Amino acid sequence: MENVENALERLYSFYNVANATELSKKINTSKKTISTWKIRNSINALKKKCKGIGIYKEIFENFEIIENLNLENNSNTSFEYYFKDKPSIIRKSRN
């Protein structure tokens, strides 16, 4: 099931930002709004914002496809095949 934390991580990666303050500037919303999305796990509000700024597909649709892939055997074959020509939207480790 989708949650705001995961979606925000993809937004951070998409915009190449490190925190909510930087993201708020990129998506033209307040840091308080982002904080409220997190506290309330307001995934629908975040999806609405992404639709409004034209990045819904990049943040949500591709991720929903990933969730539906059968990767039980830890094989990345299906993932790599399907997304070979797509830009990376999954944030790498911050360490």
Quote the CA–CA distance of 87 and 64 in Å, as a whole number.
Answer: 16
pLDDT digits (tens, 9 = 90+) for 45-91: 999 999 999 999 888 876 655 555 544 445 555 566 666 666 665 65
pLDDT of 35: 96
Of 45, 53, 60, 74, nearest in space to 2 by CA = 60
SS3 58: helix
Query: Bigger pLDDT: 36 or 82?
Result: 36
End-to-end CA distance of the chain: 26
Residue 94, amino acid: R
Question: With bands split at pLDDT 50, 70 and 90, how would you rate the model's confidence at 25?
Answer: very high
Quote the CA–CA distance of 65 and 4 in Å, as a whole number.
Answer: 17
**Residues of the chain with pLDDT > 90: what percent?**
54
Question: With bands split at pLDDT 50, 70 and 90, how would you rate the model's confidence at 1?
Answer: low
